[in-house]
């Protein structure tokens, strides 16, 4: 199993699904991203993408409200779940069969250490990576944040 490079693992650390490849990101709010087997790291050639984002939570921020807003934008529904032993909200959406690009089909939102953490799965039509998404969720581990 591929491990997330330590320099990238500022908040969570976990195993990537077997065969998935880490792709560097320059976005400050992205902790990491991985592409599915058979994908190439360029637009139009990625079949599946797992992304971990971390956003500062403003005072009074609620992960459930953030998750509902995320679901409303993506046309999905929110259900209760867990991530790394903490309460999380799962957003499930329906992939449009005629989607020309990657679409978010599954996401988890959790409030952890005053940050909103989002684990997202994006897919192209004719591909399904829900088992891989669940693999990451099931193997999620938190680590302390270094100053």
Query: Above 50 in pLDDT, residue 9?
Result: no
**6 lies in some domain:** no
Chain mean pLDDT for the chain: 83
Between CA 71 and CA 14 the distance in angstroms is 25
Domain count, the chain: 1
Nearest residue to 119 (alpha-carbon basis) of 146, 81, 145, 147: 81
**126 lies in some domain:** yes
**63 lies in some domain:** yes
What confidence tens digit (pLDDT) does each residue in 89-135 have? Answer: 999 988 777 777 888 999 999 999 889 999 999 998 888 999 999 99
**147 lies in some domain:** no
- Residue range of the domain that includes 106: 12-142
List strands edge to edge, sheet with 103-112: 21-22, 30-35, 48-56, 115-123, 103-112, 86-92, 77-83
In contact, 71 and 78? CB cutoff 8 Å:
yes
**24 lies in some domain:** yes
When pLDDT is averaged across residues 44-68 and rounded to a whole number, the result is 88
Please provide the size of the chain in residues: 147
Reported as a pLDDT band with limits 50, 70 and 90, residue 42 is low
Between CA 126 and CA 133 the distance in angstroms is 16
**5 lies in some domain:** no
**7 lies in some domain:** no
Higher-pLDDT residue of 36, 16: 36
Reported as a pLDDT band with limits 50, 70 and 90, residue 16 is confident
Q: What is the CA radius of gyration of the chain?
A: 15
**73 lies in some domain:** yes
**Chain center to CA of 59:** 23
Reported as a pLDDT band with limits 50, 70 and 90, residue 43 is low
CATH of the domain at 99: 3.40.1000.10
Between CA 17 and CA 14 the distance in angstroms is 9
In contact, 2 and 23? CB cutoff 8 Å:
no
């Amino acid at each position: 199993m591929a491990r997330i490079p330590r320099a990238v693992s500022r908040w969570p650390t976990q195993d990537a699904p077997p065969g998935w490849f880490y792709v560097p990101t320059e976005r400050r709010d992205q902790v990491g991203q991985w592409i599915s087997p058979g994908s190439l790291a360029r637009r139009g050639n990625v079949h599946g993408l797992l992304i971990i984002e971390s956003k500062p939570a403003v005072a009074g921020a609620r992960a459930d409200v953030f998750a509902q807003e995320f679901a409303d934008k993506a046309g999905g529904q929110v259900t209760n779940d867990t991530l790394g032993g903490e309460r999380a909200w799962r957003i499930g959406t329906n992939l449009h069969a005629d989607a020309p690009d990657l679409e978010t089909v599954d996401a988890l939102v959790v409030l952890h250490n005053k940050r909103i953490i989002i684990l997202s799965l994006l897919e192209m039509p004719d591909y399904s990576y829900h088992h891989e998404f669940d693999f990451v969720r099931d193997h999620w581990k938190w680590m302390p944040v270094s100053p």
